[in-house]
């Protein structure tokens, strides 16, 4: 894969093989019908959950924490970074699959059916403004850039359930819809660098 190849270059210490990429699904947002999900912020419960999330991530000794530009991801990353005393920044391209019109608020069953379609037919425009493959490739390119910019230590990326599931499935063979359903708010997946092997799933914090 491009991400794996770009990280490991001749002359690098063998320690780089022990690096980890931790993909965090943001904490619980406050749902606002009629407003795009990309604009939602964390609710009170979501902010509280970031404390235990930070405690779980501490064991990985992250060098840097990077988030998508969506408010719920930014807030999750800010709280975690502050608790861990780590550097925090945002990066373009890590945002969620671009959904549809905010006035078209689906109930849970219909929403899950639509998301399942994204995973089952990644080359078709099933929902929103990009296909699953487009969202996956955009996220992969952004993640590659983040890892290349931080070549020492473990990297935490705070992002979103669909793009994380698409990316992890592409590199590990897990079933993306099943992974998406397992990942709580918040949760995280740990991958090895540069191989992108699946090391750990923490489905709920």
Rounded distance between C-alpha atoms, residue 56 and residue 187, angstroms: 10
Contacts of 15 by beta carbon, 8 Å cutoff, 6+ apart: none
Entry pTM:
0.90
What distance lies between CA 204 and its chain's CA centroid?
Answer: 14
Rounded distance between C-alpha atoms, residue 39 and residue 37, angstroms: 5
Tokens, residue 142: 């952004």
Query: In Å, what is the CA distance from 7 to each residue of 49, 71, 112?
Result: 32, 29, 35
The tens-digit pLDDT sequence of the chain (205 residues) is: 445 434 444 444 444 457 999 999 999 999 998 889 999 999 999 999 999 999 999 999 999 999 999 999 999 999 999 999 998 999 999 999 998 765 456 788 988 999 999 999 999 999 999 999 999 999 999 999 999 999 999 999 999 999 999 999 999 999 999 999 999 999 999 999 999 999 999 999 9
DSSP string across 22-83: EEEE---B---TTS-GGG--B-HHHHHHHHHHHHHHHTT-EEEEEE-SSHHHHHHHHHHHHH
DSSP string across 160-177: -HHHHHHHHHHHH---HH
């Amino acid at each position: 894969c491009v991400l794996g190849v770009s990280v490991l270059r001749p002359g690098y210490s063998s320690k780089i093989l022990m690096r980890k990429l931790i993909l965090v699904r943001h904490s619980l947002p406050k749902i606002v019908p009629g407003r795009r999900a990309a604009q939602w912020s964390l609710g009170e419960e979501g902010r509280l959950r970031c404390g235990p999330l930070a405690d779980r991530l501490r064991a990985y000794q992250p060098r840097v924490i990077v988030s998508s530009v969506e408010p719920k991801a930014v807030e999750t990353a800010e709280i975690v970074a502050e608790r861990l005393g780590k550097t925090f920044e945002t990066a373009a391209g890590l945002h969620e699959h671009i959904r549809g019109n905010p006035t078209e608020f689906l109930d849970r069953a219909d929403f899950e059916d639509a998301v399942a379609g994204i995973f089952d037919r990644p080359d078709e425009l099933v929902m929103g403004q990009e296909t699953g493959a487009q969202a996956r490739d955009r996220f992969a390119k952004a993640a590659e850039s983040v890892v290349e910019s931080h070549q020492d230590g473990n990297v935490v990326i705070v992002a979103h359930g669909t793009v994380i599931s698409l990316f992890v499935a592409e590199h590990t063979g897990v079933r993306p819809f099943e992974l998406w359903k397992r990942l709580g708010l918040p949760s995280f997946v740990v991958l090895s660098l540069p191989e992108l092997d699946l090391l750990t799933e923490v489905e709920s914090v």
